[in-house]
Structure 1
Amino acid sequence: MLKLSNVHVYYGHVHALRGISITVEDGKIVSLLGSNGAGKSTTLKFISRLIHPKNGSYEMDGKSMLKKSPGNVVKSGIIHCPENRRVFPLFTVEENLRMGAYSRKDKNIMEDLEKVLSYFPRLKERIKQKAGTLSGGEQQMLAIGRSLMGKPRILLLDEPSLGLAPILVKEIFAIIKRINQDGTSILLVEQNANMALSISDYAYVLENGNIALEGNSKDLRNNDEVRRLYLGG
Protein backbone atom coordinates (compact mmCIF):
# COMPACT_ATOMS: atom_id res chain seq x y z
CA MET A 1 0.00 0.00 0.00
CA LEU A 2 2.67 2.51 1.11
CA LYS A 3 6.33 1.95 0.33
CA LEU A 4 9.50 3.98 0.98
CA SER A 5 12.72 2.78 -0.63
CA ASN A 6 16.27 4.01 0.06
CA VAL A 7 15.11 7.44 1.27
CA HIS A 8 17.78 10.01 2.16
CA VAL A 9 16.78 13.31 3.76
CA TYR A 10 19.06 16.20 4.80
CA TYR A 11 18.52 19.23 7.01
CA GLY A 12 21.24 21.42 5.56
CA HIS A 13 24.40 19.38 6.11
CA VAL A 14 22.74 17.03 8.63
CA HIS A 15 21.97 13.61 7.14
CA ALA A 16 18.64 12.92 8.94
CA LEU A 17 17.47 9.81 7.05
CA ARG A 18 20.13 7.48 5.69
CA GLY A 19 18.55 5.23 3.08
CA ILE A 20 15.53 3.92 4.98
CA SER A 21 13.01 1.53 3.42
CA ILE A 22 9.60 1.04 5.03
CA THR A 23 6.39 -0.70 3.95
CA VAL A 24 2.90 -0.29 5.41
CA GLU A 25 0.56 -3.00 4.17
CA ASP A 26 -3.18 -2.54 3.86
CA GLY A 27 -5.01 -3.05 7.16
CA LYS A 28 -1.87 -3.23 9.32
CA ILE A 29 -0.41 -1.23 12.20
CA VAL A 30 3.31 -0.57 11.71
CA SER A 31 5.36 0.93 14.55
CA LEU A 32 8.37 3.18 14.10
CA LEU A 33 10.49 3.14 17.25
CA GLY A 34 13.67 4.87 18.35
CA SER A 35 15.11 7.50 20.66
CA ASN A 36 14.81 11.28 20.24
CA GLY A 37 16.55 12.43 17.08
CA ALA A 38 16.50 8.99 15.45
CA GLY A 39 14.47 10.24 12.47
CA LYS A 40 10.94 9.08 13.35
CA SER A 41 9.11 12.39 12.98
CA THR A 42 11.24 13.25 9.95
CA THR A 43 9.94 10.09 8.29
CA LEU A 44 6.32 11.16 8.82
CA LYS A 45 7.04 14.68 7.57
CA PHE A 46 8.63 13.18 4.46
CA ILE A 47 5.58 10.98 3.84
CA SER A 48 3.35 14.07 4.22
CA ARG A 49 5.62 15.91 1.70
CA LEU A 50 6.50 18.59 4.23
CA ILE A 51 10.19 17.93 3.55
CA HIS A 52 11.91 16.72 0.39
CA PRO A 53 14.38 13.87 -0.09
CA LYS A 54 17.86 13.98 -1.55
CA ASN A 55 17.04 10.68 -3.23
CA GLY A 56 14.86 7.60 -2.84
CA SER A 57 11.34 6.58 -3.83
CA TYR A 58 7.93 6.87 -2.18
CA GLU A 59 4.89 5.06 -3.56
CA MET A 60 1.24 4.62 -2.67
CA ASP A 61 -0.52 1.75 -4.44
CA GLY A 62 2.45 1.52 -6.80
CA LYS A 63 2.26 5.19 -7.87
CA SER A 64 4.99 7.71 -7.05
CA MET A 65 4.07 10.37 -4.49
CA LEU A 66 7.27 12.42 -4.87
CA LYS A 67 5.65 15.17 -6.95
CA LYS A 68 2.49 15.41 -4.86
CA SER A 69 1.78 18.51 -2.81
CA PRO A 70 0.92 18.05 0.90
CA GLY A 71 -2.72 18.78 0.05
CA ASN A 72 -2.78 16.07 -2.61
CA VAL A 73 -1.18 13.61 -0.20
CA VAL A 74 -4.16 14.24 2.10
CA LYS A 75 -6.56 13.72 -0.81
CA SER A 76 -4.78 10.42 -1.54
CA GLY A 77 -5.86 9.20 1.90
CA ILE A 78 -2.66 9.75 3.91
CA ILE A 79 -3.45 11.85 7.00
CA HIS A 80 -0.83 13.06 9.48
CA CYS A 81 -1.74 13.52 13.16
CA PRO A 82 1.25 15.54 14.40
CA GLU A 83 3.12 15.51 17.68
CA ASN A 84 1.90 17.87 20.45
CA ARG A 85 -1.77 17.73 19.32
CA ARG A 86 -1.90 21.18 17.68
CA VAL A 87 -5.64 21.64 18.04
CA PHE A 88 -7.19 25.04 17.29
CA PRO A 89 -7.61 26.31 20.87
CA LEU A 90 -10.27 28.98 20.18
CA PHE A 91 -12.42 26.61 18.09
CA THR A 92 -14.93 24.28 19.71
CA VAL A 93 -14.51 20.51 19.65
CA GLU A 94 -17.04 20.30 16.83
CA GLU A 95 -15.33 23.03 14.80
CA ASN A 96 -11.96 21.28 15.18
CA LEU A 97 -13.46 18.01 13.98
CA ARG A 98 -15.13 19.68 11.00
CA MET A 99 -11.80 21.26 10.05
CA GLY A 100 -10.45 17.74 9.57
CA ALA A 101 -12.94 17.25 6.73
CA TYR A 102 -12.07 20.50 4.91
CA SER A 103 -10.85 18.72 1.76
CA ARG A 104 -13.85 16.41 1.46
CA LYS A 105 -16.71 16.98 -0.98
CA ASP A 106 -18.86 13.94 -0.15
CA LYS A 107 -22.12 13.93 1.83
CA ASN A 108 -21.04 11.57 4.63
CA ILE A 109 -19.32 14.11 6.88
CA MET A 110 -22.01 14.14 9.58
CA GLU A 111 -22.12 10.34 9.57
CA ASP A 112 -18.36 10.22 10.06
CA LEU A 113 -18.57 12.86 12.79
CA GLU A 114 -20.88 10.56 14.73
CA LYS A 115 -18.50 7.65 14.18
CA VAL A 116 -15.56 9.67 15.52
CA LEU A 117 -17.60 10.66 18.57
CA SER A 118 -18.39 6.98 19.15
CA TYR A 119 -14.64 6.38 19.51
CA PHE A 120 -14.32 9.34 21.88
CA PRO A 121 -17.48 9.70 24.04
CA ARG A 122 -15.69 12.31 26.13
CA LEU A 123 -15.51 14.59 23.10
CA LYS A 124 -19.24 14.19 22.55
CA GLU A 125 -19.82 15.46 26.09
CA ARG A 126 -17.68 18.52 25.29
CA ILE A 127 -18.79 19.09 21.70
CA LYS A 128 -19.41 22.86 22.17
CA GLN A 129 -16.44 23.43 24.49
CA LYS A 130 -13.39 25.35 23.25
CA ALA A 131 -10.48 23.00 22.50
CA GLY A 132 -8.03 25.10 24.52
CA THR A 133 -9.96 24.32 27.72
CA LEU A 134 -9.68 20.53 27.30
CA SER A 135 -7.22 18.38 29.26
CA GLY A 136 -4.11 17.05 27.53
CA GLY A 137 -5.67 13.63 27.05
CA GLU A 138 -8.85 15.13 25.61
CA GLN A 139 -6.83 17.28 23.23
CA GLN A 140 -5.00 14.16 22.04
CA MET A 141 -8.35 12.46 21.42
CA LEU A 142 -9.47 15.54 19.50
CA ALA A 143 -6.30 15.57 17.38
CA ILE A 144 -6.82 11.93 16.42
CA GLY A 145 -10.53 12.50 15.81
CA ARG A 146 -9.81 15.51 13.59
CA SER A 147 -7.42 13.35 11.53
CA LEU A 148 -10.06 10.65 11.17
CA MET A 149 -12.49 13.21 9.75
CA GLY A 150 -10.22 13.34 6.68
CA LYS A 151 -11.22 9.70 6.06
CA PRO A 152 -7.66 8.33 5.98
CA ARG A 153 -6.63 5.09 4.35
CA ILE A 154 -3.35 5.43 6.26
CA LEU A 155 -3.17 7.38 9.51
CA LEU A 156 0.27 8.71 10.49
CA LEU A 157 0.31 9.03 14.30
CA ASP A 158 3.21 10.94 15.87
CA GLU A 159 3.72 10.28 19.62
CA PRO A 160 0.04 9.91 20.66
CA SER A 161 1.02 9.01 24.27
CA LEU A 162 3.34 11.99 24.81
CA GLY A 163 2.73 13.66 28.17
CA LEU A 164 -0.26 11.51 29.11
CA ALA A 165 -0.92 9.65 32.37
CA PRO A 166 -0.55 5.84 32.12
CA ILE A 167 -4.30 5.21 32.41
CA LEU A 168 -4.97 7.58 29.50
CA VAL A 169 -2.20 5.97 27.45
CA LYS A 170 -3.97 2.60 27.74
CA GLU A 171 -7.25 4.22 26.69
CA ILE A 172 -5.71 5.94 23.67
CA PHE A 173 -3.98 2.76 22.49
CA ALA A 174 -7.19 0.74 22.83
CA ILE A 175 -8.92 3.29 20.60
CA ILE A 176 -6.05 3.17 18.07
CA LYS A 177 -6.45 -0.60 17.90
CA ARG A 178 -10.19 -0.23 17.34
CA ILE A 179 -9.65 2.34 14.57
CA ASN A 180 -7.36 -0.15 12.83
CA GLN A 181 -9.85 -2.98 13.23
CA ASP A 182 -12.43 -0.78 11.52
CA GLY A 183 -10.21 -0.65 8.41
CA THR A 184 -7.66 2.16 8.76
CA SER A 185 -3.98 1.30 8.28
CA ILE A 186 -1.67 3.05 10.77
CA LEU A 187 1.99 4.08 10.85
CA LEU A 188 2.67 4.76 14.52
CA VAL A 189 5.65 6.76 15.80
CA GLU A 190 5.95 6.15 19.53
CA GLN A 191 8.54 6.26 22.31
CA ASN A 192 6.45 3.95 24.49
CA ALA A 193 7.85 0.91 22.71
CA ASN A 194 6.07 -1.62 24.90
CA MET A 195 2.61 -0.23 24.12
CA ALA A 196 3.43 0.24 20.43
CA LEU A 197 4.68 -3.33 20.01
CA SER A 198 1.64 -4.67 21.89
CA ILE A 199 -0.80 -3.38 19.24
CA SER A 200 1.26 -3.33 16.03
CA ASP A 201 1.82 -6.07 13.45
CA TYR A 202 5.29 -5.05 12.32
CA ALA A 203 7.93 -2.63 13.61
CA TYR A 204 11.05 -0.77 12.56
CA VAL A 205 13.68 0.53 14.99
CA LEU A 206 15.47 3.70 13.85
CA GLU A 207 18.92 4.73 15.08
CA ASN A 208 20.61 7.87 13.74
CA GLY A 209 18.52 7.85 10.58
CA ASN A 210 19.16 4.17 9.86
CA ILE A 211 16.89 1.17 10.32
CA ALA A 212 18.75 -0.84 12.95
CA LEU A 213 16.15 -3.58 13.37
CA GLU A 214 12.85 -4.62 11.84
CA GLY A 215 10.47 -7.52 12.16
CA ASN A 216 7.24 -8.92 13.50
CA SER A 217 6.24 -6.89 16.57
CA LYS A 218 5.87 -9.95 18.76
CA ASP A 219 9.38 -11.12 17.84
CA LEU A 220 10.88 -7.68 18.50
CA ARG A 221 9.12 -7.52 21.85
CA ASN A 222 11.03 -10.67 22.81
CA ASN A 223 14.31 -9.51 21.28
CA ASP A 224 16.99 -9.09 23.98
CA GLU A 225 18.46 -5.95 22.40
CA VAL A 226 15.05 -4.29 22.03
CA ARG A 227 14.15 -5.23 25.58
CA ARG A 228 17.40 -3.78 26.91
CA LEU A 229 17.27 -0.52 24.94
CA TYR A 230 13.55 0.25 24.78
CA LEU A 231 11.53 -1.91 27.15
CA GLY A 232 13.59 -1.54 30.31
CA GLY A 233 14.29 -5.28 30.56
Structure 2
Amino acid sequence: MPGIVYVVDDDASYRTAIKRLLEKTGYRVVTYASAQQLLDQRPDENSPGCILLDVRMRGLSGPDLQSRLIEFGSTLPIVFLTGYMDITVTVKAIKAGADNFFIKPVRSDELLRAIEKALARHETALALKGELETLRARLSTLTPRQRQVFEIIVRGKTNKHAARELGSTERTIKAHRQVIMEKMNVQSLAQLVTIAERLGVLAQVSGPLNDETGAG
Protein backbone atom coordinates (compact mmCIF):
# COMPACT_ATOMS: atom_id res chain seq x y z
CA MET A 1 0.00 0.00 0.00
CA PRO A 2 1.50 3.37 -0.98
CA GLY A 3 1.81 5.93 1.74
CA ILE A 4 4.12 8.24 3.65
CA VAL A 5 5.63 7.28 6.99
CA TYR A 6 6.80 10.16 9.18
CA VAL A 7 9.54 8.91 11.50
CA VAL A 8 10.18 10.96 14.64
CA ASP A 9 13.17 9.80 16.70
CA ASP A 10 16.16 11.63 18.18
CA ASP A 11 18.43 8.63 17.56
CA ALA A 12 20.04 9.30 14.16
CA SER A 13 21.20 5.71 13.63
CA TYR A 14 17.72 4.37 14.37
CA ARG A 15 16.11 6.88 12.01
CA THR A 16 18.48 5.76 9.27
CA ALA A 17 17.81 2.06 9.86
CA ILE A 18 14.03 2.51 9.90
CA LYS A 19 14.17 4.71 6.80
CA ARG A 20 16.08 2.03 4.88
CA LEU A 21 13.66 -0.69 5.95
CA LEU A 22 10.57 1.28 4.99
CA GLU A 23 11.94 2.55 1.68
CA LYS A 24 12.97 -0.98 0.78
CA THR A 25 9.36 -2.00 1.40
CA GLY A 26 8.13 0.74 -0.94
CA TYR A 27 7.07 3.51 1.42
CA ARG A 28 7.99 7.15 1.18
CA VAL A 29 9.72 8.22 4.37
CA VAL A 30 10.20 11.62 5.99
CA THR A 31 12.36 11.76 9.12
CA TYR A 32 12.44 14.23 12.00
CA ALA A 33 15.08 14.50 14.71
CA SER A 34 12.61 15.89 17.23
CA ALA A 35 8.91 16.31 17.92
CA GLN A 36 9.27 20.07 17.55
CA GLN A 37 10.73 19.63 14.08
CA LEU A 38 7.57 17.82 12.98
CA LEU A 39 5.42 20.60 14.45
CA ASP A 40 7.50 23.16 12.56
CA GLN A 41 7.22 21.17 9.33
CA ARG A 42 3.72 19.74 9.57
CA PRO A 43 3.02 16.71 7.35
CA ASP A 44 0.57 16.90 4.47
CA GLU A 45 -2.51 15.08 5.74
CA ASN A 46 -4.26 14.94 2.37
CA SER A 47 -2.39 11.77 1.41
CA PRO A 48 -2.37 8.44 3.30
CA GLY A 49 0.27 8.55 6.00
CA CYS A 50 1.14 7.65 9.57
CA ILE A 51 3.63 8.68 12.24
CA LEU A 52 6.23 6.35 13.71
CA LEU A 53 6.96 8.07 16.99
CA ASP A 54 9.55 7.53 19.71
CA VAL A 55 8.28 8.03 23.27
CA ARG A 56 11.34 9.47 25.01
CA MET A 57 13.11 12.31 23.22
CA ARG A 58 14.89 15.50 24.15
CA GLY A 59 12.45 18.41 24.31
CA LEU A 60 8.88 17.39 23.55
CA SER A 61 8.19 13.73 24.21
CA GLY A 62 6.21 11.46 21.92
CA PRO A 63 3.04 11.70 24.05
CA ASP A 64 3.48 15.50 24.16
CA LEU A 65 3.54 15.56 20.37
CA GLN A 66 0.49 13.31 20.24
CA SER A 67 -1.41 15.78 22.44
CA ARG A 68 -0.37 18.73 20.27
CA LEU A 69 -1.45 16.97 17.09
CA ILE A 70 -4.82 16.12 18.62
CA GLU A 71 -5.27 19.81 19.45
CA PHE A 72 -4.55 20.65 15.81
CA GLY A 73 -7.15 18.13 14.64
CA SER A 74 -4.61 15.81 13.03
CA THR A 75 -5.97 12.54 11.66
CA LEU A 76 -2.58 10.87 11.12
CA PRO A 77 -2.45 7.52 12.97
CA ILE A 78 0.47 7.14 15.39
CA VAL A 79 2.54 4.03 16.04
CA PHE A 80 4.68 4.45 19.16
CA LEU A 81 8.14 3.01 19.73
CA THR A 82 9.95 2.98 23.05
CA GLY A 83 13.05 1.49 24.57
CA TYR A 84 11.47 1.47 28.03
CA MET A 85 8.08 0.00 28.89
CA ASP A 86 5.94 2.34 30.97
CA ILE A 87 2.41 1.01 31.49
CA THR A 88 1.02 4.43 32.43
CA VAL A 89 2.40 6.08 29.30
CA THR A 90 1.28 3.17 27.13
CA VAL A 91 -2.29 3.19 28.42
CA LYS A 92 -2.54 6.97 28.10
CA ALA A 93 -1.26 6.91 24.52
CA ILE A 94 -3.63 4.12 23.49
CA LYS A 95 -6.59 5.89 25.11
CA ALA A 96 -5.62 9.03 23.20
CA GLY A 97 -5.90 7.10 19.95
CA ALA A 98 -2.48 5.58 19.25
CA ASP A 99 -2.68 2.76 16.72
CA ASN A 100 -0.01 0.61 18.32
CA PHE A 101 2.81 0.56 20.83
CA PHE A 102 6.08 -1.37 20.43
CA ILE A 103 9.17 -1.90 22.57
CA LYS A 104 12.49 -1.57 20.75
CA PRO A 105 13.86 -3.62 19.17
CA VAL A 106 10.71 -4.57 17.28
CA ARG A 107 10.48 -7.31 14.68
CA SER A 108 10.37 -5.90 11.17
CA ASP A 109 7.35 -7.94 10.12
CA GLU A 110 5.34 -6.79 13.15
CA LEU A 111 6.24 -3.16 12.57
CA LEU A 112 5.39 -3.34 8.87
CA ARG A 113 2.00 -4.91 9.62
CA ALA A 114 1.24 -2.14 12.10
CA ILE A 115 2.24 0.53 9.59
CA GLU A 116 0.14 -1.07 6.86
CA LYS A 117 -2.86 -1.12 9.19
CA ALA A 118 -2.32 2.51 10.21
CA LEU A 119 -2.04 3.65 6.59
CA ALA A 120 -5.20 1.74 5.67
CA ARG A 121 -7.07 3.45 8.50
CA HIS A 122 -5.91 6.89 7.40
CA GLU A 123 -6.82 6.14 3.79
CA THR A 124 -10.34 5.22 4.92
CA ALA A 125 -10.57 8.38 7.03
CA LEU A 126 -9.52 10.50 4.04
CA ALA A 127 -12.13 8.83 1.84
CA LEU A 128 -14.86 9.51 4.40
CA LYS A 129 -13.68 13.10 4.76
CA GLY A 130 -13.89 13.54 0.99
CA GLU A 131 -17.41 12.12 0.92
CA LEU A 132 -18.54 14.48 3.69
CA GLU A 133 -17.02 17.47 1.92
CA THR A 134 -18.93 16.52 -1.23
CA LEU A 135 -22.19 16.19 0.70
CA ARG A 136 -21.65 19.54 2.44
CA ALA A 137 -20.98 21.17 -0.92
CA ARG A 138 -24.24 19.78 -2.30
CA LEU A 139 -26.14 20.89 0.79
CA SER A 140 -24.78 24.41 0.37
CA THR A 141 -26.46 24.65 -3.06
CA LEU A 142 -29.92 24.51 -1.48
CA THR A 143 -31.78 27.80 -1.22
CA PRO A 144 -32.98 28.89 2.25
CA ARG A 145 -36.49 27.61 1.42
CA GLN A 146 -35.16 24.31 0.08
CA ARG A 147 -33.09 23.91 3.23
CA GLN A 148 -36.23 24.39 5.33
CA VAL A 149 -38.09 21.76 3.32
CA PHE A 150 -35.08 19.43 3.54
CA GLU A 151 -34.94 19.70 7.32
CA ILE A 152 -38.65 18.95 7.62
CA ILE A 153 -38.89 15.96 5.29
CA VAL A 154 -35.81 14.20 6.70
CA ARG A 155 -37.63 14.20 10.04
CA GLY A 156 -40.27 11.98 8.42
CA LYS A 157 -42.87 14.69 7.89
CA THR A 158 -45.23 14.58 4.90
CA ASN A 159 -45.55 17.16 2.14
CA LYS A 160 -48.85 18.19 3.71
CA HIS A 161 -47.19 18.76 7.08
CA ALA A 162 -44.34 20.73 5.47
CA ALA A 163 -46.81 22.89 3.56
CA ARG A 164 -48.73 23.67 6.73
CA GLU A 165 -45.57 24.38 8.72
CA LEU A 166 -44.15 26.69 6.06
CA GLY A 167 -47.41 28.33 5.03
CA SER A 168 -47.08 26.95 1.52
CA THR A 169 -48.92 24.44 -0.68
CA GLU A 170 -48.36 20.72 -1.12
CA ARG A 171 -47.70 21.27 -4.81
CA THR A 172 -44.96 23.79 -4.05
CA ILE A 173 -43.41 21.53 -1.40
CA LYS A 174 -43.44 18.63 -3.85
CA ALA A 175 -41.61 20.77 -6.41
CA HIS A 176 -39.02 21.81 -3.81
CA ARG A 177 -38.61 18.19 -2.78
CA GLN A 178 -37.86 17.11 -6.34
CA VAL A 179 -35.21 19.82 -6.74
CA ILE A 180 -33.67 18.87 -3.39
CA MET A 181 -33.39 15.23 -4.47
CA GLU A 182 -31.69 16.31 -7.69
CA LYS A 183 -29.26 18.69 -5.99
CA MET A 184 -28.34 16.12 -3.34
CA ASN A 185 -28.00 13.44 -6.05
CA VAL A 186 -30.26 10.88 -4.36
CA GLN A 187 -33.10 8.69 -5.57
CA SER A 188 -35.01 8.10 -2.36
CA LEU A 189 -36.02 9.71 0.91
CA ALA A 190 -34.06 7.04 2.78
CA GLN A 191 -30.86 8.21 1.08
CA LEU A 192 -31.69 11.79 1.96
CA VAL A 193 -32.20 10.85 5.61
CA THR A 194 -28.86 9.03 5.64
CA ILE A 195 -27.14 12.16 4.34
CA ALA A 196 -28.87 14.28 6.99
CA GLU A 197 -27.62 11.90 9.68
CA ARG A 198 -24.05 11.92 8.35
CA LEU A 199 -23.99 15.72 8.23
CA GLY A 200 -25.51 16.07 11.68
CA VAL A 201 -28.57 17.87 10.35
CA LEU A 202 -31.01 15.75 12.34
CA ALA A 203 -29.15 16.51 15.56
CA GLN A 204 -29.33 20.24 14.82
CA VAL A 205 -33.05 20.28 14.07
CA SER A 206 -35.42 20.18 17.02
CA GLY A 207 -39.00 21.37 17.20
CA PRO A 208 -40.96 23.14 14.46
CA LEU A 209 -39.19 25.46 12.07
CA ASN A 210 -40.17 29.08 11.83
CA ASP A 211 -41.07 30.43 8.40
CA GLU A 212 -39.34 33.73 7.83
CA THR A 213 -38.91 33.60 4.09
CA GLY A 214 -42.49 33.53 2.85
CA ALA A 215 -44.21 30.90 0.75
CA GLY A 216 -42.79 29.06 -2.24
TM-score (normalised: structure 1): 0.29
Q: Which has the higher helix share?
A: 2
Q: Which has the higher strand share?
A: 1
Higher normalized contact order (CA 8 Å, seq sep 6+, divided by chain length) = 1
| Greater radius of gyration (CA) | 2
TM-score (normalised: structure 2): 0.31
